[in-house]
Structure 1
């Protein structure tokens, strides 16, 4: 009798998975770490919450982030194999922004079961959407290669845009990339940034917060295409502004909004989430982001 195939999907805490997705069997989230004054915390409650990280940043404490070591993934892959998993799909944030993918890749080489690692070249919610697309393929009987390709395709089709009150935190963490050349030291502007080819890249510069938020919403609409989309607003300690933005975008996208392909949802609407401590450490309090992810049905190869 042929062995029963069982695929586990591993991702990291920056993906901001919906709680319902994170709770699914064989979905495992590996936390990144936040370092505050040389003390290391796993991202998420009860250790490094968004409020705690925001308070540390406002207090001008030393805040940095750290990837999981290869040994963390090696131990996880070993445990999953011992639990009966026959294959692992490990989907992570951009390798240009973090060493997390590299840690997973190093651990995969000596794993007891086949491990496929995916660099989404995205951060935040776009990575979560990539995970959901991979899960949808697996749920329909597709193999790991097809699920990995679905994750890459969904991530590539997604648009991640964000507004920050200041470039200070991105500059401090070394994640500002090409944006530094455009904005230079002009920290008085309200920068609109995006993830392009796996790194932070400038999209526009606006003089006031109100104009920046309006422009951010306009850019999201322009990037959405004509079909069905999933849309999420993310923030760090700006719940009121984020909720108002999500409400405006829900009305603007209207019937084009789609629900998750993985978990049952209520009436499709723009989701609103707070960033975790790791991403929050690099963008700072007041940050607002929009992720637009076109929804397409997963392609599952048919048997010959």
Structure 2
């Protein structure tokens, strides 16, 4: 990276392929817990397919944050390797204790650590990380990189379609959606990240109408900006591919290509987020360039 400032993030950021190495970012895994067995996100035992299977079988599936000691050890290692400052960029403190763990560890770190609560989940965090890395690559300060990450995260729109609220309700992550939808779990909910919390954005009766509304909301979020855009899913590959194609056609030249040249990034959610949204989930992240 050409900088003595290190960047740390967590596995829910879902960085673009190659970004971790290109941007010099260290990723701390969250954990997926299946029947009391604890696995790092990204491990063979906690693939999206295995998490989805466990959910369908109604096995006990939960998630866990990294403890402060993990961050403490990492901050010490990065300092020993030559880092003079660290920027630690994480998912919303409203839905995970990961940010809190980073803050606790930062207090006794051997070098200054700036901890950032992006108030986002998923790919929006990755875009914030890449914006911070770009500032450092251009010779910017840690303060400027941290501000770039906060600004990019705040500008992003994260939208979700889930087949059922049941998995979010089980994990206690449903937030304000519970008050709106109550027990009407047959409703096809459209959710978003609002002030760091998973909250309702629309209430739709059929999956087809819900996905069409998701597409319309993504177009609205893009406005007339140049944007990076990602469509994510959990065991809904065909739906995700079709949605990505429609969005690519509609947004055209507004789309900033991915690292591998595609106009719309498409990916499957990892085990941690997948554990809370369940099979059939579709998500869109629209991240304007700032």
Normalised by the size of structure 1, how large is the TM-score? 0.93
More deviation, 21-30/36-45: 21-30
Correspondence for 2:126 among 118, 125, 128: 128
Q: Distance in 1 between matches of 2:43 and 2:170?
A: 25
Match of 1:270 in 2: 264
**Structure 2 unaligned blocks of 5 or more:** none
RMSD of Structure 2 on Structure 1 (CA) = 1.1
> 1:5 touches 1:87 (CA, 8 Å); kept in 2?
no
**Partner deviation per Cα, 1:216-269 (whole Å, 9 max, x = no partner):** 000111111211001100000111110111111111110000135xxx542x51
Q: Distance in 2 between matches of 1:193 and 1:271?
A: 20
Number of matched residues?
289
Match of 1:205 in 2: 203
**Structure 1 unaligned blocks of 5 or more:** 297-304
Normalised by the size of structure 2, how large is the TM-score? 0.97
Q: Residues 1-304 of structure 1: matches in 2 within 5 Å?
A: 6-24=4-22, 26-259=24-257, 264-266=259-261, 268-296=262-290
> 2:63 touches 2:272 (CA, 8 Å); kept in 1?
yes
Q: Distance in 2 between matches of 1:90 and 1:142?
A: 16
Q: Distance in 1 between matches of 2:52 and 2:260?
A: 31
Q: Distance in 2 between matches of 1:181 and 1:135?
A: 39
Q: Distance in 2 between matches of 1:87 and 1:19?
A: 25
> 2:23 touches 2:133 (CA, 8 Å); kept in 1?
no
**Partner deviation per Cα, 1:76-126 (whole Å, 9 max, x = no partner):** 011111111111110000000100000001001101111111000000000
Q: Distance in 2 between matches of 1:50 and 1:5?
A: 35
**Partner deviation per Cα, 1:152-171 (whole Å, 9 max, x = no partner):** 10000000000000000000
